[in-house]
Amino acid sequence: MRIAAVLFLALGLLAGCSTTGTLNTVQTPQQNLSPKHAAIVVDGSTGKVLYEQNSEAARYPASLTKMMTLYMLFEALESGKLSKSSQIPVSAFAASRPPSKIGLKPGQSIDVESAISALCTKSANDVAVAVAEALGGTEERFASMMTAKARQLGMRGTFFNNASGLPDEAQRSTARDMALLGIALRKRFPQHYGYFSATSFAFNGKTIRGHNDLLGRVSGVDGIKTGYIRASGFNIVTSVNSGGRKLVVVVMGGDTARSRNAEVEQLIDRYLPQASLGVATQ
């Protein structure tokens, strides 16, 4: 695919890169030495890597997985397979998934637009499985489709075994791959990217609030996704768009959500001035 080639080249043909290669490896003032930790900062306009630490080490993506679930759902919208008003049925298996969830019941359905909001904002596991079954027939088959799409996008260190990011020893990714996916989502689906900026959404007469505390608090942050399971620690992919400069910042393996967010803020402060200056966009 053309977009895969463009994105792969934009990220500087990272194959074989290490701290002794061409990457900028100046360390942040508070280097995280946790064995779960990984981080990368990428110029969102050029794909240039501005900073990395363990960026190609295997990590559990947790709910960052749903970024790919959403990529596949956006593709289904673009192809006409689904519309935003299409109803996605909810199986007993989907409804049985543990939290985070919105509490769907077997036999219910959810419209695609609400499903997008539930995945972006609430990180709903029941919705992720319902989407997987709607698009792939089974979650297992959909996970194979997700992995194939990851390869098309140049995500060579990623393997999906479910659509939600719930604990699975086989499900792995890297900070580099998550940055690549974050860039791909904005470039491929700018018309849908605003969903990642929402801090809440309305569903069945209730206001459901999200998990990303950086939204609305840190200037320029406009998405994308948080994630946590015990095996992964606290993960986040963050998009920044400020004054014509764009960053994608990935931090994985934080000890707490607060420490993870503090690291992201530190990385933004340090590297946003180094990002290429273009035309400010929404």
Going by the annotation, the residues of the binding site for substrate are 225
Q: Which listed residue (45, 48, 55, 63) is catalytic?
A: 63
Here the tokens at position 240 are: 């920044």
157-176 burial, b at 16+ Cβ within 10 Å, e below that, comes to bbbbbbbbbbebeebbbbbb
- CA atoms of 236 and 224, how far apart (whole Å): 8
| Cα angle value 149/123/165 (rounded, 5°) | 50
The partner residues of 159 in beta bridges, in order of sequence, read: 172
Q: Which listed residue (55, 114, 123, 197) is catalytic?
A: 123
Residue 277: other Cβ atoms inside 10 A = 11
> Catalytic: 123?
yes
E strands within the chain? 38-43, 49-53, 87-89, 109-111, 200-203, 206-209, 221-229, 233-242, 245-254
Contact 182, 31 (CB under 8 A): no
Here the tokens at position 276 are: 């290429």
217-249 burial, b at 16+ Cβ within 10 Å, e below that, comes to ebebbbbbbbbbbeebbbbbbbbbbbeebbbbb
Q: What is the DSSP letter of 118?
A: I
> Catalytic: 219?
no
> Catalytic: 36?
no
The partner residues of 246 in beta bridges, in order of sequence, read: 241
Q: Which listed residue (45, 48, 55, 66) is catalytic?
A: 66
Binding residues: 225
> Would strands 200-203 and 206-209 be described as parallel, antiparallel, or unpaired?
antiparallel
Q: Which residues are catalytic?
A: 63, 66, 123
